[in-house]
């Protein structure tokens, strides 16, 4: 029998991390001690009080059956409570909150709720690849908004052609940003609200990194902007905040019509997140938050060690105010891929080439602060020895 993939799969953009993955496997096979700064996955464990709640909840047979499609009332209430406490944003847990099986799930599914074939979506470049792919899977077309250093990695809305804005149904944005680590303030969010109103564009803000911030900086929510609840929503995740990437729990909040449409898509596709995970998620959101400060303290040390060290070696990188990513200019004479290959094959250090996140990421590599201080010192030592 001939098995033929759908056009949807056949037309996926080329997977640009393939070459680096291959080189990584090859180096491992050669027995090289690789230091992987390539993956945005916290290296530290989930705080113990959250794990204890999972253990308890997993033992309760009431949690062994199908959960509600859109989340337990108790979890959605905990999310609303957390938004009120953290951002002073008032949410109705029954209409303006939906539980997700990780925020990636919601990001991938939301285009199915709003995009018809031929509709456009505005997507940041560089950006988290799921924005583009989710839109394409729904039959929509993507128009990229370049995030440039000279604009502090904020999109230039005036540069979007009028005919594109006319056809655009939704826009993805993400601050604090992966991969550039840029942050956004209220003046940008205010601009976004008026732009959305003018063109009837639903704003989907991916806020996965609001809690991973340093030096006293507190990222804001898009929903804090006046009128934001009329035009958009926000994705959030417990993954990065509480070292829970493997648990698959996140949520979407905001405009009731938007959230309910996403819930409708989900109720036709999945059957909700494991209740025991949701109960542990409530403990995460409502429990002691000092674990966040502790982790941010560790990331701050790692950041300073890595960025100061890279600068001493003659590389250019900004110290991130938020996220655990360092966005580094590629030195003269290399493309992003060439420099990432150089570091991997010559120094055994894995960094992510910026062009893997989109064409506008060319000229940069991304390093994640996901190894301890000793390993960061080893990274710097190796790069110094190898040169570039
Ligand atoms: C890690 C990350 C997420 C979170 O994904 P989950 O599915 O919630 O684990 C979302 N957006 C961005 C930009 C990320 O880097």
Query: Could you read off the pLDDT of 256-265 as tens digits, one per residue?
Result: 999 999 999 9
Q: State if residue 76 touches ligand 1 by the CB under 6 angstroms criterion.
A: no
* Residue 345 tokens, joined: 């094959």
Q: Which of 250, 267, 286 is the last residue of a domain?
A: 286
Q: Which whole-number Å values give the CA distances from 372 to 36, 238, 378, in the listed order? A: 11, 22, 10
Q: Is the pLDDT of residue 19 over 90?
A: no
Residues 33 and 56 in one domain: no
Mean pLDDT of 28-37: 94
pLDDT at 21: 87
User: What atom in ligand 1 is closest to the CA of residue 240?
Assistant: 1
- Measured at the CA of 248, the angle between CA 246 and CA 250, to 5 degrees, comes to 130
Q: Is the pLDDT of residue 18 over 90?
A: no
Q: State if residue 40 touches ligand 1 by the CB under 6 angstroms criterion.
A: yes
Tell me the C-alpha distance between 196 and 230, whole Å.
Answer: 9
Q: Which of 286, 321, 350 is the last residue of a domain?
A: 286
Q: Which whole-number Å values give the CA distances from 103 to 311, 373, 383, in the listed order? A: 34, 29, 35
CATH of residue 130: 3.40.640.10
Q: State if residue 386 touches ligand 1 by the CB under 6 angstroms criterion.
A: no
C-alpha 287 – ligand 1 centre gap (Å):
22
Does any domain span residue 341? Answer: yes
Tell me the C-alpha distance between 193 and 173, whole Å.
Answer: 12
Q: Is the pLDDT of residue 22 over 80?
A: yes
pLDDT at 17: 80
Q: What is the DSSP string of 305-348?
A: HHHHHHHHTT--BPPPSBSSEEEEEPPTT--HHHHHHHHHHHH-
Q: Is the pLDDT of residue 382 over 90?
A: yes
Q: State if residue 103 touches ligand 1 by the CB under 6 angstroms criterion.
A: yes
Q: State if residue 99 touches ligand 1 by the CB under 6 angstroms criterion.
A: no
Does any domain span residue 111? Answer: yes
Residues 318 and 269 in one domain: no
Residues 140 and 39 in one domain: no
Model confidence pLDDT, tens digit, residues 255-293: 999 999 999 999 999 999 999 999 999 999 999 999 999
Residues 305 and 202 in one domain: no
Residues 52 and 41 in one domain: no
User: What atom in ligand 1 is closest to the CA of residue 237?
Assistant: 8
pTM, 2 dp: 0.97
Does any domain span residue 2? Answer: no
Nearest alpha-carbon partner for 326 in 312, 305, 297:
305
Residues 33 and 75 in one domain: no
Q: Is the pLDDT of residue 16 over 80?
A: no
Does any domain span residue 159? Answer: yes
User: What atom in ligand 1 is closest to the CA of residue 127?
Assistant: 13
Q: Is the pLDDT of residue 160 over 80?
A: yes
Q: State if residue 208 touches ligand 1 by the CB under 6 angstroms criterion.
A: yes
CATH of residue 381: 3.90.1150.10
Residues 356 and 269 in one domain: no
Residues 329 and 369 in one domain: yes
Residue percentage of the chain with pLDDT more than 70: 100
Q: Which of 269, 286, 303 is the last residue of a domain?
A: 286
Q: Looking at the 3D structure of the chain, how many domains does it have?
A: 2
Residues 309 and 277 in one domain: no
Which residue among 104, 129, 131 is best mutated to probe the pocket of ligand 1, counting the most ligand atoms within 8 A of its Cβ? 104
Residues 225 and 125 in one domain: yes
Mean pLDDT of 122-135: 97
Mean pLDDT of 169-188: 98
| Residue indicated by tokens 């190898």 | 386
Owning domain of residue 192: 48-286
Residues 152 and 277 in one domain: yes
C-alpha 149 – ligand 1 centre gap (Å):
23
Mean pLDDT of 80-98: 98
Question: For the sheet containing 120-125, what is the strand order?
Answer: 97-100, 250-254, 232-237, 202-206, 168-174, 120-125, 141-146
3-state secondary structure 3-50: CCCCHHHHCCCCCCCHHHHHHHHHHHHCCCCCEECCCCCCCCCCCHHH
| Residue indicated by tokens 């809690």 | 211
């Amino acid at each position: 029998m001939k098995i033929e993939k759908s056009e949807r799969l056949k037309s996926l953009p080329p997977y640009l991390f393939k070459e680096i993955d291959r080189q990584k496997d090859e180096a491992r096979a050669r027995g090289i001690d690789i230091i992987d700064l390539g993956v945005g996955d916290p290296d530290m464990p989930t705080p113990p009080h959250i794990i204890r709640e999972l253990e308890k909840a997993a033992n309760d047979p009431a949690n062994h059956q199908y959960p509600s499609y859109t989340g337990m009332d108790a979890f959605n209430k905990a999310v609303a409570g957390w938004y009120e406490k953290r951002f002073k944003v008032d949410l109705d847990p029954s209409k303006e909150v939906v539980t997700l099986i990780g925020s990636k799930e919601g990001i991938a599914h939301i285009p199915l709720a709003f995009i018809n074939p031929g509709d456009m979506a505005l997507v940041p470049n560089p950006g988290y690849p799921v924005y583009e792919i989710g839109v394409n899977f729904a039959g929509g077309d993507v128009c990229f908004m370049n995030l440039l250093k000279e604009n502090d990695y904020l999109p230039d809305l005036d540069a979007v052609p009028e005919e594109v804005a006319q056809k655009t149904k939704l826009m993805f944005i993400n601050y604090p940003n992966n991969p550039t680590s840029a942050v956004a303030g209220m003046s940008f969010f205010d601009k976004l609200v008026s732009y959305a109103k003018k063109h009837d564009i639903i704003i989907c803000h991916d806020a996965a990194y609001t809690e991973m911030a340093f030096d006293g900086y507190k990222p804001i929510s898009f929903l804090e902007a006046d009128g934001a609840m009329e035009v958009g929503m926000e994705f959030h995740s417990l993954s990065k905040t509480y070292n829970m990437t493997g648990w698959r729990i996140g949520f979407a909040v905001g405009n009731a019509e938007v959230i309910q449409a996403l819930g409708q898509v989900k109720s036709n596709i999945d059957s909700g997140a494991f209740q025991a995970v949701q109960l542990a998620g409530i403990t995460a959101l409502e429990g002691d938050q000092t674990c966040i400060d502790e982790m941010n303290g560790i990331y701050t040390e790692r950041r300073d060690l890595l960025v100061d060290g890279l600068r001493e070696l003659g590389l250019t990188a900004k110290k991130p105010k938020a996220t655990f990513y360092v966005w580094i200019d590629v030195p003269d004479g290399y493309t992003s891929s060439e420099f990432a290959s150089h570091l991997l094959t010559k120094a055994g250090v894995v960094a992510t080439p910026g062009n893997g996140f989109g064409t506008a990421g060319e000229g940069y590599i991304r390093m994640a602060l996901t190894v301890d201080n000793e390993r960061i010192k080893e990274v710097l030592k190796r790069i110094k020895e190898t040169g570039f």
